[in-house]
Structure 1
Amino acid sequence: METPVPTLFKNRAFLLVWMSGLSVMLGFSMFFLSVSWFIVDVMERPAVLGIVMMSVSIPRVVMMIYGGILADKIKKSLIMFVTNFLQVLVMIAMITLFINDWLQVSSLIIIALVFGFLDAFFFPAVSSMIPIIVRDNELQRANSLFQGSTEMMFIIGPVVAGFLLTVGDFTLTFSAAAILIAISTVLVFPPFIKDPVPAKRTDGKSALYDLKEGLNYVRRSDLHRTGTFTIVIINLFMIGPIIISFPLLVSALGGGPLELSLLEGGLATGTFAASVVLAVWNIKLRRGRMVLFSLLGSFLLFFLFSQAEVFTLLVVLTALTGFLAMFVYLPTVTMVQEKTDKDKLGRVMSIITLAASGFEPIAFGLISFLVAAALPIQTVLTFTSAAGLVLGMLLIWKSPAFRKMD
């Protein structure tokens, strides 16, 4: 007889995974802001920023599906523990390079590649663990709580990193980020989580077969197929461009670390606020329609963002864009988790995670190329927001079944 799953706030496994997510996201947000500002301000090579960010994303794209296959076969907490531990070692190596003045473009690219490789295993594990350790009727609330509070770390992280860069140097921010990732590693120590070990398979099927099975599973379902396309569009034409635009806009408009942290904090504030609303609301009806029309609204706001040149207005528009973007992402993920067979969750969530982050290298590379060709960043953002708006309208037209889904 199976042990009943405790309610959300009495669920020890969920609470540990949640606290681990808070710690690691706070560390990541501090780390990435520091690296971005190091490249733009210290190295004075803004075009390199896109290359470094691509270096994070490319191995994530290549390995993400295999990360999902692995999550269906191996204890998920073990995957999270090992990847976090290895990231701590990478951070220590990076701090050593910086202290000795050896941190160059080549070493930053290598570090970014390793981080991206490890992320490809971490995120399918955590996203497929939550549906297993919480009750089905609490799944959207758990997703909203986890996503919203971790997004809150992207409000706190840039502000903390900006403050540490003001009173100290990059050694301080890199070290603080490493400590936070180490705390996350301890929290997901497998004996603490006690998540179930996936049943051993005796059919002898290869990883390639598992991959094909997962892709066919997504392709045959209107929900999975349209949901994946929705997440691809918003990440390729909005999230990727807006993330890489922050340091470039700050540099172009004569700002500093504070303005950069405010922009990143604005995006995180909007996504956090939306997550709180979704956690409280716990909407179950007409989610398909809400997702698609939120997609259009977010691109309209992003277009306005591309036209603004005042920091205060940019921060407000960033927050509003992030708010609506979460009304696209969170309900889509929850709908997919609710309607996916448990033995395929790792593979399906790896495809969703790939859609959420795997197309960012294309955005990073394209925008870096256009900026290097002396095209203003505002012009580039205008093109991407317009393209996303058109694709969003096309998706609504072509997806009548998804619009009717609860």
Structure 2
Amino acid sequence: MNISTQPGLLRNRSFLLVWMSGLTVMLGFSMFFLSVSWFIVDVLEQPAVLGIVLMSVSIPRVVMMIYGGILADKVRKSLIMFVTNMMQVFVMIAMITLYINDWLQISSLIVIALVFGFLDAFFFPAVSSMIPIIVRDEELQRANSLFQGSTELMFIIGPLIAGLLLTIGDFTLTFSAAALLIFISTVLVFPRFIGDPVPGKRTDGGSAVEDLKEGLAYVWNSSLHRTGTLTIVIINLFMIGPLIISFPILVGALGGTPFELSLLEGGLASGTFLASIVLVAWNIKHGRGRLVFVSLLVSFLLFFIFSQVTTLPLLVLLTALTGFMAMFVYLPTVTMVQEKTDKDKLGRVMSIITLAASGFEPIAFGLISLLVAAALPIQTVLTFTSITGLVLGTVLVWRSPAFRRLN
């Protein structure tokens, strides 16, 4: 595929198919996770194990993410997406069968969650390294923003649809709807439809460990890649992770309701979605390094203010603003990394970036939980994390003059 001859973004068939596939699979995932969560709480009446099931999704995803990137550099990316989605459809069919026969229990849900997390570890490096291959460099910012923003929107719409389906039907309906959406996503990324290139055969015979070392060295030896990765680690470990886990704790401490909890979660999703739309319209080409650093520091300042506030409407507003600024850190950084990465290393590099974006959130969840369990008020904990993130961000800005000058 010759990128330079590709049509405009919204007339690019390969991108549109990948985008639609991402939308349908994310919609299916969000419906699946809400349905499973409610099934555990309402039917099995074991809310204490909900965290174990959710961790069963994230752990294999984090552990296998790097190898998923190695595979994406060796195997046709659309084929990886097609196979992983199809396997998830089979898992969904198995879960529906278990539910219909009253065999769906915590043990089987943990196994299902482990398989889903394992497959996600291969899907996401493939799709994130696919986009730079099927779109022109000058449209990469818009493509990333459009893909990221619209998939974020699915995590707002999906639970609403799942809730409606559970109101008019049972779990068979919601599980089946999620399975159907994942199947549609599978069809959309059929390799012949996408037409992405097959990676050339390697002649060096490198093992997976050698490929991993090469990918890590490639990131560490590049100022852009190293600084971009550290930026994403800082914002996820010290802001996004603590922010997400603080919502139920904070609402509980303030004597709030589940509706108010949904307002905080919706505020974060709305802020990230709006930022993605702005970045689609504003196709930034100059001063992106400076924009990333300014957004990083501003987001931590907003997060610090969030840690001092006890009024719910203001908390929702600050959550939305923080999410908005965080996307101005994440999306331009990802785009610059994609633009400056050799095509034969895109899978490994994007798996490292994805790991930096999602792998550190569970660490933040654990650290915040430990501090709260030690009887520290949640707002004190958030104050500490926001100040730590702001200090580390300032040091990174100071030590990275080359990144500041990037366009």
**TM-score normalized by structure 1?**
0.90
User: 386-395 or 61-70, which moves further after superposition?
Assistant: 386-395
Mark the CA change 1:274 to 1:324 in structure 2 (over 3 Å): closer, same or farther. same
Distance (Å, rounded) in 2 between the aligned partners of 1:13 and 1:304: 43
Q: Secondary structure at the match of 2:85?
A: helix
Partner of 1:356: 357
Q: What letter is aligned with 1:214?
A: G
* Aligned ranges 1:59-74 → 2 under 5 Å: 59-74=60-75
- Contact 1:71 1:125 survives alignment (8 Å): yes
From the superposition, tell whether residues 43 and 392 of structure 1 become closer, same or farther in structure 2 (CA, over 3 Å): farther
Supply the AA of the counterpart residue of 1:107.
S
Does the C-alpha gap of structure 1 residues 2 and 305 become closer, same or farther in structure 2, counting only changes over 3 Å?
closer
Give the letter aligned to residue 382 of structure 2: L
Distance (whole Å) between structure 2 residues aligned to residue 33 and residue 310 of structure 1: 28
Measure the CA separation in 2 of the matches of 1:343 and 1:220: 17
Q: Distance in 2 between matches of 1:31 and 1:312?
A: 30
Q: How many residues align?
A: 405
Q: Give the letter for the 2:225 counterpart.
A: H
What displacement does 1:107 show?
3.4
- Give the direction of change, closer, same or farther, for the CA distance of 1:88–1:308 in structure 2 (3 Å limit): farther
CA distance in 2, matches of 1:162, 1:21: 21
Query: Paired residue for 1:333?
Result: 334
Structure 1: distance between partners of 2:190 and 2:111: 27
Counterpart residue number, 2:13 = 12
Q: Which is further off, 297-306 or 375-384?
A: 375-384
Question: Does 2:92 match 1:91?
Answer: yes
Identity, % of aligned positions: 81
Query: Partner of 1:217 in structure 2?
Result: 218
| TM-aligned CA distance change 1:213 to 1:113, over 3 Å | same
Aligned residue identity for 2:257: G
Q: Secondary structure at the match of 1:285?
A: coil
- Contact 1:288 1:405 (C-alpha < 8 Å) held by counterparts: yes
Q: Distance in 1 between matches of 2:237 and 2:326?
A: 13
For 1:386 and 1:44, how far apart are their aligned partners in 2?
39
In structure 2, runs of 5+ residues without a counterpart are none
| Contact map agreement 1:158 1:265 (CA 8 A) in 2 | no
Q: Which residue pairs with 2:282 in the alignment?
A: 281
The whole-number CA distance in structure 2 between the counterparts of 1:261 and 1:22 is: 22
How far apart, CA to CA, are the structure 1 residues paired with 2:203 and 2:339? 27
Cα 1:40–1:393 change in 2 (3 A) is farther
Which whole-Å CA distance do the structure 1 matches of 2:83 and 2:56 have between them?
Answer: 21
**Aligned partners of 2:386, 2:176: CA distance in 1, in Å?**
37
Where do 1:178-197 residues align within 5 Å?
A: 178-197=179-198
Partner of 2:393: 392
1:176 pairs with 2:169: no
- Alpha carbons of structure 1 residues 2 and 275: separation in structure 2 relative to 1, 3 Å: closer
**Cα separation, 2, equivalents of 1:243 and 1:101:** 33
Computed over aligned residues only, the root mean square deviation of the Cα atoms, in angstroms, reads 2.6
Output the CA distance in 1 between the equivalents of 2:62 and 2:292: 24
Cα distance change of structure 1 residues 320 and 159 upon mapping to structure 2, 3 Å threshold:
farther
How far did residue 184 of structure 1 move? 1.0
Name the residue aligned to 2:108: 107
Which residue identity does 2:303 align to in structure 1?
F
Over residues 239-267 of structure 1, what are the superposed CA-to-partner deviations in whole Å (9 max), with x where a residue is unaligned? 223333444555664423x4444433322
Report the equivalent of 1:126: 127
Cα 1:237–1:380, aligned 2, differ >3 Å: closer, same or farther? Answer: same
Equivalent residue number for residue 255 of structure 1: 257
Q: Which amino acid aligns with 1:68?
A: G
Amino acid at match of 2:71: L
Change (3 A) 1:199 1:60: same
| Partner secondary structure for residue 199 of structure 2 | coil
| Amino acid across the alignment from 2:354 | T
Structure 1 regions of 5+ residues with no counterpart? none
Which residue matches 1:305?
Answer: 306
Distance in 2, matches of 1:134 and 1:214, equals 23
Query: CA shift at 1:38, angstroms?
Result: 5.0
> What are the Cα deviations for residues 298-353 of structure 1, in whole angstroms up to 9, with x where unaligned?
12222333444554333322221111110000000000011111111111111111
In structure 1, C-alpha distance between the alignment counterparts of 2:168 and 2:379, rounded to whole Å: 32
